[in-house]
Structure 1
Amino acid sequence: MGSKSNFNVERAERRVGRRLSSVWLVPIVAIAIGVWMAYDTVTSRGELITLEVARAEGIEAGKTLVKAKDVAVGRVESVRLADNFDYAIIDIRMYRDTDRMLNSDSLFWVEKPRIGAGGVSGLGTLLSGTYIQLEPGTADDRQTQFVALDAPPVTPAGQKGIRIQLESESAQQVGIGDPVLYRGYTVGRVEQVTFDPGTQTMQHQLFIEAPYHRLVTDDVRFWMHSGAQLDLSSQGAQVNIGSLESLISGGITFASLSDNAGAEPVENMSRFVLYANQEAAEQARFTQVIHYVVLLEDSVRGLNKGAPVEYRGVRVGTVEEVPFHGMEGSADSLLDMKIPVLIRFEPERVNADVTAASLATWEANLEALFSEGLRASLRAGNLLTGALFVDLNLYPDESYQGVANTHGYTVFPSVTNSFTQLDQKLTALLDSLNSVKFAEFIDTATSTLAYSEEVLGGIHATSEQLNRLLTQASTQELPGALVNALNELEQTLSGYSADAPAYSELTRSIERLHSILRELEPLSETLRDNPSALFFDARIPRDPKVGSQ
C-alpha cells in the first residue's frame, strides 16, 4: 500500500507581452483615410465620355468644367488631337448621378463670347473662363461619344413647337438664328441652313414656337424678308422698313394669302417652298392660267418680268418673259420684227373658283372678245422709273384677222400704244424747233438785253441822286418841320371849336350880315328893274283906272 503517486509539476513562468506603439496610429489612420477617399472617388465618379470639337480653344485638362444650367456636372481630364489631326478629342469625367444626362440627343458646345444675329452671348466667360455647356436630352438610349456643336442651339431644349422644312433655289442672306416673322412679329428662328448637291437647292429648317405653331397651316406661304425694301415698279415707289433685327440680318416671313377658312395645321417637319419675295409667293397661288404671246411693235424697254397685266385698271395676269425666246421673230427683217412677250392670264384673280373645265370656258370667251376689239398695248405705270405694264382694253374700230397661233401659243392681238404716238409728236415738235432760226432770236434778245442794261443804268443813277437828296440835312429836318406845322394848325383850328369864344363871335357876325342882306334885297330888286333909280328919282306908276280897257 504505501505506493507513491507521481505528479507532473510544471513551473509557472512570468512573461511580459508586447504592446503596439502609438507611433503607428498616424500612418494607420492616414492609410484608412486614403482608402476611404479612394473608395469614395471610385464610387463617386461618373461615366468617362469623349467629345469631338473642331477647335479646343480655351480648354485645359483638369480645369475646364462641364456645366448644365450653370451647375458643374463634370471635368475635362485630357485633351488630344485626333489621329488625322482634323479635330480635337476631349476626355471628360462626369460626376456621379449624371448618367441619365448622357443620351443620344444630348448636346454639347463650348461656351465663349459670341456676337450674332440674336445679340451678344457668353460674356460671363470673360471672368469665369471657357467651359463646356451640356444640354441633356430626353431619349431613352445612353451614349458616351459626342460631337460638339459649333454654336449654341437656336432652340432651347424642351421648347414646344414644330419644325418646318423649306426649299429654295438660293440662300440669299438667310443664316442660322435669323428670325421667322408672322405679320412682323418674331414667332421662331432658323435652325439649320444646308445645301443639297443632288437637287442643287438650299434646305432651311425652321422652328416655330408654341402657341404660334398653329398659325402654320397648309395654305401658308413662306418668303424672304429684308429689313428695308424699296420697290420701284409700275405701281409706284414703296418703302417698307421692318424691325431693327430684321433690318440687320433679314429673316423669313410667312402668312396665309388666301381666305381659306378650312385650312388645317400642318404636322412636324412639313415641307414648303421658300419664295424670293411676297410677290412671288402670291403668284404661286394662281395655278389655273392661260398663256398668250403678244407681238409688240413698240419698244419693250421698261417692261420687265413680273409686270402686271391689267384690264381697265384691274390686274388679271402677269408678264412672264420679255422678250419671249420660245419663238422666232415674225419677219425676216429686223426693222419689221415684232417683239414677242409671253404673258399669262390668271382667272383666279377674278374668280377664286376656277377649275380645269372652267378654264377652257375662259379661253373661249377671251377668243370671242378678240373679234369685238380686245387688244393688248403697253402703258406707263411709273413715269419716274419708266416701268411699263400690259393694258387690255376694247378697241372696236380695230380690224381682226382671226385667232392666230404660233409655236403652240395663242397670239393675243395688240395695238400701238399712245406712247408711240406721243413719241412721234415729240419728234415732230423737235423738228419744228430745229427749223427755228435761233441766231436771229439770239441777236434780238441780245439787243433787248443791251437796252435793258441802259434803262437799268438810268434807274441806278436816279436812285443814287434820290439817295443823296435823302441824306441831306435839310431833307432830314423836313419831317420835323412838317410835324411842327401840323401842330400849329391843330392849335389854330382848336380855337374855332363850337365851345370857343371866337366861334360864337363869328356866328353872330354871320347873323348880322344875313340881316343886312335881307334889308338890301328891295334895293337890289329896284336897281335890277330900273338901274337909273340910283341917280334919279324913281318913277311911281299911276293907279289903274277902273273899267279902262
Structure 2
Amino acid sequence: MATPGNDGLPPDLPEAKPVQGSRWRMQIVWLVPIVAVLIGGWLAAKAILEEGPTVTISFKTGDGLEAGKTKIKYKDVDIGVVKSVTLSHDHKRVIATGELVKDATSMLVDNTRFWVVRPRISGGTVSGLGTLLSGSYVGMDEGNSSKTRRDFVGLEVPPVFPSDIPGREFVLRSNDMGSLDVGSPVFFRRLQVGQISSYDLDPNGKGVTLHVFVNAPYDRFVRNDTRFWHASGLDVSLSPDGVQINTQSVVSMLIGGVAFETPDSDETTEAEANTKFQLYPTHADSLKTHDRIVDTYVVNFYDSVRGLTIGAPVDFRGVVVGEVTRIYTRFDPVKKQFSIPVEINLYPERFTSRFQHDRTAGRLSEQPHELADFLVANGFRFQLRSGNPLTGQLYVAFDIFPDAPKAKIDWTRTPAELPTVPRTLQSLQDSLTRLLAKLNGIPFEAIGTNAQRTLQSANDVMAKLGTDVVPQAHDTLSAAHSALDSANDALQPDTQLQQNASDAMRELARTAASVRMLTDYLERHPEAVVQGKPGGKQ
C-alpha cells in the first residue's frame, strides 16, 4: 500500500501535463446552425430557380380581383395568383400584378390573352356559373407569337373560343349590327359551324366590322365568292307561289345569327384567314348580281315621288338594271318651279348577253356617251311607275317613248342628268286639269243670261208675228195665189200670149241667122267694112 507523500497525494499517480489545443478546431455545437444555413441557402436557391415570371395585367375595373386570393388559371389549372391590385397613375385603370409558375414562362407571348371570369350571359351563351361558389379568377389563353411580353391589357369580354381550336377567322363588313352579339352563331346549311368572336364600330361611324370564327372542317366551305347575310328573326317574302317564311333556327330567331352560302360557280379556292366579306341584310340581297361597273346619273321628276324609296329598282322592260341611291328636292329660280332629282346607279353589265358564252359581260359600247345620246335622241326616257298598287310603292322605268319631247344630255354636269317623262296617270291628270281650267274660263253664267234674254226676245217676236205679221202674210199669200192663177191662164197653149211669143221667137231666130251670115262674110272680107260690098261679087 502506498504511503502518502508530503503533499498529501498518492506517490504512484502520474503528473498531469497541459497540452496546447488547435485554434481552428470546430466545436460540434456549431454544426447545427451551419446545417440550418445550408438548408436555408438551398431552399432560397431552389425558390429562386423555381420562381415563375411576374406579369402585370391592366383592367377597366377591379371587380372580382383580390390580392393573394384570385387565381390565374389556364384550362382550369392553377398557374399563378394575383399578388397585388393597384390603380394606374392616371387612376383610369386597375393594374393587377400576378406571379405565375415557371412552366408558364413560354406562354407569355405578344398575343396571349387574359380576362376575368365572372358569371356572364351573352349571345345566348351562359359562362362562368362556377364562379358563383368558388369566386372569380383570371383566365388565360396562350398565344402563338414568337415575341415575349410581360405586360398585358385584359379583355373585358372573354374570348368565344380558345386560340388552339382549329378553324379560320373572317372579317365581315355591315351597315349595322342588327341583333348580333359576341357569341351569336354562324350557320352553314342550317348547321351551326362557328360564332361571332368580336365586333368594332368603324372609325368614321358609318358601319361595323365583325370577326367570325368558322370551325374546322367547315371553314373549307368559305370560298372567295361566299356570301354572308343576317340570319336573325324571320325572312318573309311574297312571290307568285305565295308567302314564304325562312329561318335558320329558333336560336337565330331569338338572339340573331349569321349564315353563309357559296353560289354555284367555278370558284374552288378556299378563302384565306381574315378575308373580308360583305354582310348583307337578307338572303335575297346576298344572291343579287354583283356588278363591277357602276354608272351614276340623276333623273329629275316634276311629279310626286311618294312611294319611291332608297333601293327601289330601275327597271328595263322587266329586268332590273339599277337602283335608286338618293332622293333630293330642287328649286329652279328661273322657272320658279320645284323638282325632285333622284340619283340612280345603272349597271351596264346587265344589258349585255350573259347567256352567250363567247361574250364577256361589260358595256354595250366602247363609247357610252355616244350610245346614251343615241338612245335619248330616239325617245328613251325614265318614268315613275307603280310597282305595287296595294302598298303604293314606285319604281323607275327605263323605256322608249316615241312621242317624248326632244332632249339632250349635258355631260358637263356631274353626275349627268338624264331626261324623264311624266307618269301616265299624271299626264292624264294634267290633261284633265287643263281641260277643267279651260272649262272654268268659259262664262257659263253670262252665256245663260244672254240665252235667257235671246229666248225672251224670240218669244216677243213670235207674239208680234202672231198679232201683226200673220194677217198681213195671209193677205200677201192670197194675192200671190191670184197672180199665179193669172200666170197659169196666160201660159196655156192656145192663148194669144203663147202665139205672140212663138212669132217673136221665130223672128228672133231669123235675126240671129242673118247676124251669123254677116259675121261670116266680114271674117272673109274685112275690107267690106270700109269699101262696102262690091256689086255682083260674093
Give TM class, smaller chain.
Answer: 0.5 to 0.7
Render the CA deviation track for 1:116-156: whole Å, top value 9, x for unaligned. Answer: 00411011111222222222233344333333221211231
2:173/2:208 contact within 8 Å kept:
yes
**1:416 equivalent in alignment to 2:423:** yes
The 5 Å alignment of 1:141-152 reads: 141-152=147-158
1:379/1:419 contact within 8 Å kept:
no
1:234/1:388 contact within 8 Å kept:
no
1:305 aligned partner: 310
The 5 Å alignment of 1:85-484 reads: 85-168=91-174, 174-182=180-188, 184-197=190-203, 202-229=208-235, 240-256=246-262, 260-262=265-267, 264-274=269-279, 285-323=290-328, 329=332, 332-334=335-337, 339-351=340-352, 352=354, 358-360=364-366, 368=374, 374-396=380-402, 398-405=403-410, 407=413, 409=416, 411-418=418-425, 421=428
1:375/1:415 contact within 8 Å kept:
no
Q: Tell me, what secondary structure is at the counterpart of 1:110?
A: strand
Render the CA deviation track for 1:247-297: whole Å, top value 9, x for unaligned. Answer: 34434444456x541463333333445555567666782232455544445
CA distance in 1 between partners of 2:92 and 2:109 (Å): 25
Code of the aligned partner of 2:342 = V
Render the CA deviation track for 1:515-534: whole Å, top value 9, x for unaligned. Answer: xxxxxxxxxxxxxxxxxxxx
1:288/1:354 contact within 8 Å kept:
no
CA distance in 2 between partners of 1:249 and 1:424 (Å): 55
1:113 Cα deviation from its structure 2 partner: 0.7
Q: Tell me, what secondary structure is at the counterpart of 1:127?
A: helix
CA 27–278 in structure 1, closer or farther in 2 if over 3 Å, else same: same
CA distance in 1 between partners of 2:363 and 2:321 (Å): 19
CA distance in 2 between partners of 1:413 and 1:58 (Å): 67
Q: Tell me, what secondary structure is at the counterpart of 1:142?
A: coil
CA distance in 1 between partners of 2:370 and 2:410 (Å): 14
2:68/2:81 contact within 8 Å kept:
yes
1:212 Cα deviation from its structure 2 partner: 3.2
1:379/1:390 contact within 8 Å kept:
yes
CA distance in 1 between partners of 2:310 and 2:227 (Å): 21
1:420 Cα deviation from its structure 2 partner: 6.2
Code of the aligned partner of 1:177 = G
Render the CA deviation track for 1:401-426: whole Å, top value 9, x for unaligned. Answer: 25444745252442532476489999
Render the CA deviation track for 1:96-130: whole Å, top value 9, x for unaligned. Answer: 43322222322221111111004110111112222
Name which one, 1 or 2, has greater alpha-carbon Rg.
Answer: 2
Q: Tell me, what secondary structure is at the counterpart of 2:311?
A: coil
1:288/1:359 contact within 8 Å kept:
no
Code of the aligned partner of 1:414 = V
Code of the aligned partner of 1:266 = A
1:288/1:347 contact within 8 Å kept:
yes
Q: Tell me, what secondary structure is at the counterpart of 1:86?
A: coil
Code of the aligned partner of 1:332 = K
1:11 aligned partner: 14
CA distance in 2 between partners of 1:241 and 1:342 (Å): 34
CA 44–10 in structure 1, closer or farther in 2 if over 3 Å, else same: farther
CA distance in 1 between partners of 2:307 and 2:241 (Å): 13
CA distance in 1 between partners of 2:267 and 2:178 (Å): 33
CA 295–92 in structure 1, closer or farther in 2 if over 3 Å, else same: closer
Render the CA deviation track for 1:449-486: whole Å, top value 9, x for unaligned. Answer: xxxxxxxxxxxxxxxxxxxxxxxxxxxxxxxxxxxxxx
Q: Tell me, what secondary structure is at the counterpart of 2:165?
A: coil
Q: Tell me, what secondary structure is at the counterpart of 1:99?
A: helix
1:67 Cα deviation from its structure 2 partner: 1.7
1:376/1:391 contact within 8 Å kept:
yes
Q: Tell me, what secondary structure is at the counterpart of 1:214?
A: helix
CA distance in 1 between partners of 2:285 and 2:333 (Å): 31
Render the CA deviation track for 1:308-340: whole Å, top value 9, x for unaligned. Answer: 122333323222333476xx6597143xx5544
Code of the aligned partner of 1:11 = P
CA distance in 2 between partners of 1:393 and 1:227 (Å): 38
CA distance in 2 between partners of 1:294 and 1:141 (Å): 58
1:60 aligned partner: 66
CA distance in 2 between partners of 1:373 and 1:217 (Å): 45
Render the CA deviation track for 1:17-56: whole Å, top value 9, x for unaligned. Answer: xxxxxx9999999999877766665554422333323222
Figure out how many residues of one structure are paired with residues of the other and give that number.
407
CA 384–241 in structure 1, closer or farther in 2 if over 3 Å, else same: farther
Code of the aligned partner of 1:132 = V
1:166 Cα deviation from its structure 2 partner: 4.2
Render the CA deviation track for 1:34-88: whole Å, top value 9, x for unaligned. Answer: 7776666555442233332322223333332222222222223333333333223
CA 48–291 in structure 1, closer or farther in 2 if over 3 Å, else same: closer
CA distance in 2 between partners of 1:92 and 1:46 (Å): 10
CA 80–388 in structure 1, closer or farther in 2 if over 3 Å, else same: same
Q: Tell me, what secondary structure is at the counterpart of 2:349?
A: helix
- Could you list the runs of 5+ residues in structure 2 that have no partner in the other structure? 1-11, 19-28, 436-538
Bigger Cα displacement from structure 2, 88-97 vs 348-357: 348-357
CA distance in 2 between partners of 1:126 and 1:155 (Å): 22
1:295/1:414 contact within 8 Å kept:
no
TM-score (norm 1): 0.60
1:222 Cα deviation from its structure 2 partner: 4.5
TM-score (norm 2): 0.61
1:387 Cα deviation from its structure 2 partner: 0.7
RMSD of aligned residue pairs (Cα, Å): 4.6
CA distance in 1 between partners of 2:97 and 2:398 (Å): 74
1:234/1:387 contact within 8 Å kept:
no
CA distance in 1 between partners of 2:75 and 2:94 (Å): 25
CA distance in 1 between partners of 2:326 and 2:397 (Å): 16
CA distance in 2 between partners of 1:235 and 1:303 (Å): 26
1:66/1:134 contact within 8 Å kept:
yes
Code of the aligned partner of 2:343 = L
CA distance in 2 between partners of 1:277 and 1:363 (Å): 35
